[in-house]
Amino acid sequence: MKHRRSRHIGRGFLAIAATAFAVTAASLIGGPALADTGAPPVEWDASSIDEVYAPADGYYSYAPSVIREGATEWIWSCHNDDFRVIKDHIYLTKIVDGVVVDSRSVLQASPSPAWDSFHVCDPSVVAGRFSYQGTTYGLAMFYLGNDLDASAHNQVGVAFANRPEGPWVKLPDPVVTFDRTDQWGAGQPTAVSMPGKPGTVLLGYTQGDTSTRAFVVSVDLRAAESAKISEPRLLPTAGLTGTDGAPDYLNGFDLVYDKRGDRFLTVREQHPYPTDNPWWIGPSVQVAAIDADDLVKGRGVWTPAGDVDESLTGFPRNHNAGFARDWKGNLAAKDDVTVVFTKSCSSLPTVDDQDWSQATCDSLYSYDLWSIDGELRKRR
């Protein structure tokens, strides 16, 4: 799925969290980050492009949340469970030494009339210390859910587990709510553990109503039954560029924290959208960087770091991407960046096929996962 405030809103909590994040991050790297030189932070290695996971014919996989530890990767993705049936589950694909050893559905829609009774998609998994109904959990999965067979009325929920494969226990109500059933809603979450606050996460998400915007909140899940969610902060878009070089907006993004540079990187969908099939996804994703304190406070300017596009990968669509991260949402390797992106085919209409009904590109069922590595330039 591409594109209600919580019951307990903690005013001022995000500002406190921002200070804690900046102070703790500075202590982790031995002092404040120095000014950027303005050079692109990431240098891509085109020879590293590799297929990560290809679902069977009639199935799709996209929007990965990737955790890497040594030679093992856990990838949660948006995936269908029945042949050529568009109903989203969240799958976990486990990869060891580059080989897929397991792939299965680990989170499904709830029974109707629950808020997430049709699609569950767009996972973001992070480690911490979360308490719910007397049990302490080490993992939280934020996800998009809805109750319609449509790209509408999306909201963001959370589930807990102590193992990557689950069982995952859902909080019954969404943590980011959206009331209208005729608009896209809130979704595409991305979560990072707050340093020094193992029960609190920084949560970014997309909201689509009369326009498309990105927000960030802090979510305190030390007692998840009474979760404390801060007021949303609108994320900046200054510095982001589209495929045409023009200023761009922010949606469909993942975040990772670079401790050494005390900054966040985002990988996000670029615009404008193309005119050929599929026209609802961008042709490329862009990596950009911003100071951690600026992101948390909803200010500042992004520094573009490089695009993952057809000229680099050879694919006409490179979309719905995520970073390889550690369990807390930091870079998996301190000087390297790995982006796991979704590949898709594309096709043009013909005079006799204006609605693409005969198109050779069966775009949704061409969605599979690929990766590319880059070297992260150190800040002086």
Domain residues of the chain, as ranges? Answer: 13-376
d(CA 208, CA 226): 26
Contact at 8 Å (CB) between 38 and 303? yes
Which is higher by pLDDT, 6 or 36? Answer: 36
> CB-side exposure of 225: number of CA atoms within 13 Å?
6
**Poorest-pLDDT segment among 6-10, 127-131, 234-238:** 6-10
d(CA 151, CA 367): 18
**How many residues comprise the chain?**
380
pLDDT score for 107: 98
Q: What is the pLDDT of residues 76-126, one digit of tens each?
A: 999 999 999 999 999 999 999 999 999 999 999 999 999 999 999 999 999
3-state DSSP call for residue 47? Answer: strand
pLDDT score for 36: 46
3-state secondary structure string across 85-115: CCCEEEEEEEEECCEEEEEEEEECCCCCCCC
Q: What is the pLDDT of residues 25-62, one digit of tens each?
A: 433 333 333 344 455 679 999 999 999 999 999 999 99
Contact at 8 Å (CB) between 144 and 122? yes
d(CA 364, CA 27): 45
Q: Is the dihedral of CA 84, 76, 64, 250 positive or negative?
A: positive
Q: What is the pLDDT of residues 191-219, one digit of tens each?
A: 999 988 999 999 999 999 999 999 999 99
pLDDT score for 351: 53
Contacts of 15 (CB under 8 A, 6+ apart): 297
> Residue 176's closest CA among 102, 231, 133?
231
Average pLDDT, the chain: 89
Q: In the block, which residue shows the tokens 């209409």? A: 349
Confidence check: pLDDT of 145 > 90? yes
Q: In the block, which residue shows the tokens 């500075």? A: 26
Q: What is the pLDDT of residues 319-364, one digit of tens each?
A: 999 999 999 999 999 889 999 999 999 986 555 565 656 667 888 9
* Element containing residue 203 per DSSP (H, E): strand 197-208
pLDDT score for 199: 95
Residue 289, strand partner residues = 265, 303
Provide the pLDDT confidence category of residue 11 given band limits of 50, 70 and 90. Answer: very low
Confidence check: pLDDT of 17 > 90? no
| The two three-digit tokens of residue 36, written as one number | 């950027």
d(CA 111, CA 208): 26
Architecture of domain 13-376: 5 Propeller (2.115)
pLDDT score for 276: 84
Give one DSSP letter per residue of 183-198, joined into a string.
Answer: S-EEEEEEEEEETTEE
Q: What value does the mean pLDDT take over residues 269-289?
A: 93
Confidence check: pLDDT of 253 > 80? yes
Output the pTM of the full model: 0.90
